[in-house]
Each structure stands twice: as C-alpha cells, then as structure tokens.
Amino acid sequence: MILSDDGLGQPDFKRLEREAELWVQLQHPNLVPFIEVSHDISRWPCLISPLYECHVGAFLKDNEGADRKAIILCLASGLEYLHSNNIIHGDLKVSNVLVDRDGNAYIGDFGISKILNRRGYTTRSVGTTPYMAPELLYIVDSGVQQLHPSTTKASDIYSFGLLALEILTSEPPKGRPVRPFITMQTLPELQPNQADYPKVAAGTWSVLDQCFALNPAARPTISTLRIQLYSAFYYAA
C-alpha cells in the first residue's frame, strides 16, 4: 500500500508513521496484517501488506454463491476487536474490505483510524461521504454553529450497517450524499428504508436497522450487533 499525498503532491510522512505505528499493533484474523515499511520499491516509503485478490464488492460480483452472512460476521468480529481496543476504524466501506483467493475477508486501510484518549492518534478525517453517519455531515441550514465532527464507535456502527447491506445485496448504499453537506429537510431521507432492500430478510433488517438510529447513543455496540446478526442469520424462524 502506497501512502497518499498531503494534497500538495508531497507524501504525508506523519500520516504514514502514525498509520504504521497503529497498524503494527493489530493482530486479528479478520484484519489485514501489517508486514513492514518498505523504502525500496517506490520513490516514497510504502506500507506493505499481503497481496489480495480484490475487494469484497468485486469478489461477490464474480462469486454470487459466496457465504455473504459469514463475511459480515467475520467483519463484525474484526471491528469488535478494534473497538475492544478503543480503536475507531473511521472509513468502513466495500473497497476497504479485501478478500483472498479462498474467500476470506479482511478489514484494511487504517489511514484515518484513531485510538481513543491517546495523544497523537486522532484525526480530522471522517471517512467516505456515502458511508458516513449523519452526525459527521454538516447541516447547512441548521442555524447552529457546528464543531468539526469526529468519528466514534457509533459512527463506525452506522458505516458497518451500510456495508453489511451492500454485502448482502451487492448494491451500493441508496440515497446517500456525495458531499458531506445536507439540509434539515434531507436529513430524514438519509435513513435506509426496508422497502429499498427487498432481498434482506425481515429479521436481518430489524437488527441492521438499529445501526441507523439518528441518535448515536441508540446504536448497538458491535458486540451486541454481532450476536444479534448471528441469531438472525442462522436461527431466525
């Protein structure tokens, strides 16, 4: 993985160092493992990980019979590991889930991940707009001065819910903004609607729907969500 630049055409060495220091700490079977920082294969230092076949969206397109429920539960397990260590991923989306030739899925790209309550491990980046929780978006007509939003475990849960829907249906998030600016009128329209996802079983929907609560405090923890999803996937009547 080659580090992106800082917006001025120069590599962001501070971000690279920060990501490497965080990434090297992560040890879980559903997280992309860190190998090393290489200074030999590019003009700039690179963070090296194993080579994967593709991201999960491309994998499912070519493997329609893949066990999508198992993939979601594996990702829930990986996110549970991160949250249990007070790490927020911050950018869960289909292109950040990599799949190997055996169909095993891994959460990757920790470039804007952060460790809670630890200096040097915060970031102002808040993810990819179509997957962002509502509290990370700017409401342009709210009449209230908004502070710079910050990713949380609850915003990860919102993104995870959208990611799970995409894995189940092979359809990108519906009705999502492309820029992080919305109005009060469009805020309710962001909420995923069960009618838009007829392929998703009712029991599964009732679990994932909790991820989309407008109040972040009302969203379940990933530990609770993983248990509920397992039950909905394999024990629903």
With vertex at residue 55, the alpha carbon angle to CA 121 and CA 9, rounded to the nearest 5 degrees, is 55
Q: How many Å apart are CA 138 and CA 173, to the nearest integer?
A: 19
Cβ neighbours around 228 below 10 Å, total: 18
What is the pLDDT, as a whole number, of residue 237?
58
Q: How many Å apart are CA 14 and CA 159, to the nearest integer?
A: 26
With vertex at residue 227, the alpha carbon angle to CA 225 and CA 232, rounded to the nearest 5 degrees, is 90
Domain 52-234 CATH class label: mainly alpha
Can you list the alpha helix ranges (DSSP code H) found in the chain? 13-23, 56-62, 68-84, 153-169, 202-208, 222-234
Q: Characterize 153-168 residue by residue with b for buried, 16 or more Cβ atoms within 10 angstroms of its Cβ, and e for exposed.
A: bbbbbbbbbbbbbbbb
Domains of the chain, residue spans: 52-234
What is the pLDDT, as a whole number, of residue 3?
46
What is the pLDDT, as a whole number, of residue 119?
59
Write down the mean pLDDT value for the chain. 86
What is the pLDDT, as a whole number, of residue 1?
46
Chain centroid offset of residue 211 CA: 13
Give the start-end residues of each E strand in 95-148. 97-99, 105-107, 114-115, 138-139
Q: Say what percent of the chain tops pLDDT 90.
A: 55
The torsion angle over the Cα atoms of residues 231, 234, 235 and 237, rounded to 10 degrees, is 120
Nearest to 88 by CA among 48, 130, 117: 117
pLDDT in tens, 205-235: 999 999 999 999 999 999 999 999 999 999 9
Instruction: Please tell me the pTM assigned to this model.
Output: 0.87
Q: What is the torsional sign of CA 50, 51, 57, 60?
A: negative
Q: How many Å apart are CA 53 and CA 165, to the nearest integer?
A: 22
Annotated catalytic residues are 91
